[in-house]
Amino acid sequence: MPFAQAPTGALQLKWELQDHGWARCHLANDFHQASLVVSYCTDALADLVAAAGGLYGQQRTTRFFFDAEPQELRWVLRAEDALIDVTIYEFPDVSVSLDLPDAAGTVIWQSAHSRRLFSHAVLNAAQTVFTEHGEAGYQAKWMLHPFPVALVQDLRRLHLRDDACGLSHDHAHPEADEGFPTSQGSRLLRDEGVIAQGPSEGPLGSGHTRPPGARVHRL
Ligand SMILES: [Zn+2]
Protein backbone atom coordinates (compact mmCIF):
# COMPACT_ATOMS: atom_id res chain seq x y z
CA MET A 1 0.00 0.00 0.00
CA PRO A 2 1.45 3.37 -0.92
CA PHE A 3 2.39 5.54 2.00
CA ALA A 4 -0.13 8.14 1.00
CA GLN A 5 -2.92 5.65 1.51
CA ALA A 6 -1.71 4.27 4.78
CA PRO A 7 -4.49 4.45 7.32
CA THR A 8 -4.09 5.62 10.82
CA GLY A 9 -3.62 3.07 13.49
CA ALA A 10 -1.22 1.40 15.81
CA LEU A 11 2.51 1.72 15.64
CA GLN A 12 5.10 -0.69 16.87
CA LEU A 13 8.42 0.82 17.74
CA LYS A 14 11.41 -1.10 18.92
CA TRP A 15 14.77 0.29 19.91
CA GLU A 16 17.58 -2.22 19.64
CA LEU A 17 20.96 -1.28 21.01
CA GLN A 18 23.89 -2.78 19.23
CA ASP A 19 27.56 -2.47 19.99
CA HIS A 20 29.92 0.46 19.72
CA GLY A 21 27.37 3.23 19.57
CA TRP A 22 24.97 1.81 17.05
CA ALA A 23 21.30 1.06 17.35
CA ARG A 24 18.43 -0.01 15.18
CA CYS A 25 15.04 1.58 15.30
CA HIS A 26 12.33 -0.71 14.01
CA LEU A 27 8.98 0.68 12.97
CA ALA A 28 5.96 -1.31 11.92
CA ASN A 29 2.29 -0.80 11.39
CA ASP A 30 -0.24 -3.04 9.72
CA PHE A 31 1.16 -2.36 6.28
CA HIS A 32 4.79 -1.37 6.46
CA GLN A 33 7.93 -1.96 8.37
CA ALA A 34 11.24 -0.21 8.40
CA SER A 35 14.52 -0.70 10.17
CA LEU A 36 16.64 2.39 10.64
CA VAL A 37 20.35 2.38 11.38
CA VAL A 38 21.21 4.87 14.08
CA SER A 39 24.57 6.08 15.29
CA TYR A 40 25.39 7.84 18.52
CA CYS A 41 26.51 10.96 16.72
CA THR A 42 23.18 12.25 17.86
CA ASP A 43 21.41 11.23 21.05
CA ALA A 44 18.83 9.56 18.91
CA LEU A 45 16.48 7.96 21.42
CA ALA A 46 16.50 11.12 23.50
CA ASP A 47 15.63 13.15 20.41
CA LEU A 48 12.74 10.85 19.58
CA VAL A 49 11.34 11.03 23.10
CA ALA A 50 11.80 14.80 23.24
CA ALA A 51 10.07 15.24 19.91
CA ALA A 52 7.09 13.23 21.10
CA GLY A 53 6.94 15.35 24.23
CA GLY A 54 7.04 18.48 22.14
CA LEU A 55 3.72 17.56 20.59
CA TYR A 56 1.92 18.35 23.85
CA GLY A 57 2.61 22.04 23.69
CA GLN A 58 2.01 24.70 21.10
CA GLN A 59 4.47 23.18 18.73
CA ARG A 60 2.77 21.71 15.69
CA THR A 61 5.83 20.31 13.98
CA THR A 62 8.96 18.82 15.46
CA ARG A 63 12.02 17.65 13.58
CA PHE A 64 15.12 15.73 14.42
CA PHE A 65 17.39 13.38 12.59
CA PHE A 66 19.22 10.15 13.02
CA ASP A 67 22.76 9.99 11.72
CA ALA A 68 23.09 6.73 9.83
CA GLU A 69 26.62 7.58 8.76
CA PRO A 70 26.53 8.88 6.18
CA GLN A 71 22.80 9.11 5.60
CA GLU A 72 20.56 11.59 7.34
CA LEU A 73 17.26 10.09 8.44
CA ARG A 74 15.08 13.08 9.11
CA TRP A 75 11.98 12.66 11.22
CA VAL A 76 9.20 15.18 10.82
CA LEU A 77 6.30 14.93 13.26
CA ARG A 78 3.29 17.05 12.40
CA ALA A 79 0.30 17.48 14.62
CA GLU A 80 -2.70 17.76 12.34
CA ASP A 81 -6.06 17.88 14.03
CA ALA A 82 -6.09 14.87 16.30
CA LEU A 83 -3.40 13.01 14.43
CA ILE A 84 0.35 12.90 14.42
CA ASP A 85 1.77 12.51 10.95
CA VAL A 86 5.12 10.75 11.02
CA THR A 87 7.32 11.13 7.97
CA ILE A 88 10.93 10.01 7.71
CA TYR A 89 13.08 11.28 4.89
CA GLU A 90 16.39 9.82 3.86
CA PHE A 91 19.19 11.97 2.51
CA PRO A 92 22.37 10.38 1.21
CA ASP A 93 24.87 12.51 3.11
CA VAL A 94 24.15 14.19 6.40
CA SER A 95 27.21 16.38 6.03
CA VAL A 96 25.44 18.35 3.33
CA SER A 97 21.74 17.64 3.82
CA LEU A 98 20.85 19.29 7.12
CA ASP A 99 19.98 22.54 5.41
CA LEU A 100 18.09 20.94 2.57
CA PRO A 101 14.30 21.04 2.44
CA ASP A 102 12.36 17.90 3.20
CA ALA A 103 11.37 17.61 -0.44
CA ALA A 104 14.99 16.95 -1.35
CA GLY A 105 14.91 13.69 0.55
CA THR A 106 13.33 10.33 -0.13
CA VAL A 107 10.33 9.36 1.96
CA ILE A 108 11.13 6.04 3.60
CA TRP A 109 8.29 6.04 6.12
CA GLN A 110 4.98 7.75 6.50
CA SER A 111 2.18 6.97 8.87
CA ALA A 112 -0.34 8.76 11.01
CA HIS A 113 -1.42 7.95 14.51
CA SER A 114 -3.29 9.46 17.34
CA ARG A 115 -0.96 11.19 19.72
CA ARG A 116 -1.97 8.66 22.32
CA LEU A 117 -0.81 5.71 20.25
CA PHE A 118 2.32 7.41 19.00
CA SER A 119 3.47 8.49 22.43
CA HIS A 120 2.60 5.15 23.90
CA ALA A 121 4.75 3.43 21.29
CA VAL A 122 7.68 5.77 21.95
CA LEU A 123 7.42 5.29 25.68
CA ASN A 124 7.16 1.56 25.36
CA ALA A 125 10.21 1.39 23.13
CA ALA A 126 12.24 3.50 25.52
CA GLN A 127 11.21 1.57 28.56
CA THR A 128 11.78 -1.79 26.92
CA VAL A 129 15.36 -0.92 26.09
CA PHE A 130 15.87 0.38 29.60
CA THR A 131 14.44 -2.77 31.12
CA GLU A 132 16.69 -4.87 28.96
CA HIS A 133 19.93 -3.01 29.53
CA GLY A 134 19.58 -0.87 32.63
CA GLU A 135 21.21 2.48 32.99
CA ALA A 136 24.79 1.24 33.01
CA GLY A 137 24.22 -1.22 30.23
CA TYR A 138 22.55 1.40 28.10
CA GLN A 139 25.45 3.78 28.34
CA ALA A 140 27.97 0.99 27.86
CA LYS A 141 26.45 0.34 24.46
CA TRP A 142 25.36 3.83 23.49
CA MET A 143 28.58 5.22 24.91
CA LEU A 144 28.19 8.95 24.45
CA HIS A 145 24.85 9.48 26.10
CA PRO A 146 23.04 8.21 29.19
CA PHE A 147 19.53 6.83 29.03
CA PRO A 148 17.21 9.84 28.70
CA VAL A 149 15.55 9.41 32.06
CA ALA A 150 14.14 12.88 32.46
CA LEU A 151 12.75 13.06 28.96
CA VAL A 152 11.05 9.70 29.31
CA GLN A 153 9.53 10.75 32.60
CA ASP A 154 8.32 14.01 31.08
CA LEU A 155 6.70 12.24 28.17
CA ARG A 156 5.11 9.71 30.48
CA ARG A 157 3.66 12.47 32.60
CA LEU A 158 2.23 14.29 29.59
CA HIS A 159 0.90 11.08 28.06
CA LEU A 160 -0.85 9.97 31.23
CA ARG A 161 -2.19 13.46 31.89
CA ASP A 162 -3.53 14.32 28.46
CA ASP A 163 -4.05 11.20 26.38
CA ALA A 164 -6.54 9.12 28.34
CA CYS A 165 -4.53 6.07 27.38
CA GLY A 166 -6.23 2.87 28.38
CA LEU A 167 -3.26 0.68 27.56
CA SER A 168 -1.14 -0.87 30.23
CA HIS A 169 1.69 1.20 31.63
CA ASP A 170 2.76 -1.09 34.41
CA HIS A 171 5.67 -2.40 32.47
CA ALA A 172 6.09 0.45 30.11
CA HIS A 173 6.70 3.16 32.61
CA PRO A 174 7.94 2.15 36.05
CA GLU A 175 7.96 4.79 38.71
CA ALA A 176 11.19 6.39 39.76
CA ASP A 177 11.09 4.59 43.07
CA GLU A 178 10.83 1.24 41.34
CA GLY A 179 14.29 1.44 39.96
CA PHE A 180 13.92 4.09 37.35
CA PRO A 181 17.00 6.18 37.88
CA THR A 182 16.77 9.82 38.65
CA SER A 183 20.31 10.58 39.62
CA GLN A 184 21.56 10.78 36.10
CA GLY A 185 20.17 12.23 32.99
CA SER A 186 17.96 14.72 34.70
CA ARG A 187 19.48 17.48 32.71
CA LEU A 188 19.43 16.36 29.14
CA LEU A 189 19.58 18.95 26.49
CA ARG A 190 18.74 18.04 22.99
CA ASP A 191 21.55 20.15 21.67
CA GLU A 192 24.18 18.23 23.50
CA GLY A 193 23.15 15.16 21.61
CA VAL A 194 24.86 16.37 18.50
CA ILE A 195 28.41 15.36 18.99
CA ALA A 196 29.94 14.44 15.72
CA GLN A 197 33.53 13.62 16.23
CA GLY A 198 35.66 11.28 14.26
CA PRO A 199 37.28 8.41 16.11
CA SER A 200 40.51 10.33 16.43
CA GLU A 201 38.90 13.49 17.70
CA GLY A 202 37.29 12.49 20.92
CA PRO A 203 36.97 9.90 23.63
CA LEU A 204 35.15 7.44 21.49
CA GLY A 205 35.42 3.80 22.20
CA SER A 206 36.86 1.29 19.86
CA GLY A 207 34.99 -0.08 16.97
CA HIS A 208 32.76 2.80 16.09
CA THR A 209 34.31 3.93 12.91
CA ARG A 210 33.09 6.72 10.78
CA PRO A 211 33.52 6.81 7.06
CA PRO A 212 36.09 9.12 5.53
CA GLY A 213 35.18 12.73 5.50
CA ALA A 214 34.04 12.87 9.09
CA ARG A 215 32.45 16.14 9.88
CA VAL A 216 31.10 18.16 12.70
CA HIS A 217 27.56 19.32 12.42
CA ARG A 218 25.26 21.02 14.82
CA LEU A 219 21.60 21.51 15.12
ZN1 LIG B 1 -0.23 4.68 27.01
Q: 124 alpha carbon to ligand 1 midpoint, in Å?
A: 8
At residue 10, the pLDDT reads 84
Q: 117 alpha carbon to ligand 1 midpoint, in Å?
A: 7
Show the low-confidence residues of the chain (pLDDT under 50): 1-6, 172-206, 210-219
pLDDT tens by residue, 168-214: 886 544 444 444 444 443 333 333 333 333 333 333 444 565 444 33
Q: 63 alpha carbon to ligand 1 midpoint, in Å?
A: 22
Q: 100 alpha carbon to ligand 1 midpoint, in Å?
A: 35
Q: 152 alpha carbon to ligand 1 midpoint, in Å?
A: 13
Q: 114 alpha carbon to ligand 1 midpoint, in Å?
A: 11
Q: 160 alpha carbon to ligand 1 midpoint, in Å?
A: 7
Q: 51 alpha carbon to ligand 1 midpoint, in Å?
A: 16
Q: 55 alpha carbon to ligand 1 midpoint, in Å?
A: 15
Q: 198 alpha carbon to ligand 1 midpoint, in Å?
A: 39
Q: 128 alpha carbon to ligand 1 midpoint, in Å?
A: 14
pLDDT tens by residue, 116-125: 999 999 999 9
Rounded distance between C-alpha atoms, residue 52 and residue 155, angstroms? 7
Q: What share of the chain is helix, strand, coil (3-state, %, to 5)?
A: 30, 25, 45
Interior/surface letters 155-190, b for 16+ CB within 10 angstroms, e for the rest:
bbebbeeebebeeebeebbeeeeeebbeeebeebeb
Rounded distance between C-alpha atoms, residue 174 and residue 108, angstroms? 33
At residue 98, the pLDDT reads 96
- The burial class, CB within 10 Å (0-12 / 13-18 / 19+), for 106 is exposed
Q: 159 alpha carbon to ligand 1 midpoint, in Å?
A: 7
Q: 80 alpha carbon to ligand 1 midpoint, in Å?
A: 20
Q: 167 alpha carbon to ligand 1 midpoint, in Å?
A: 5
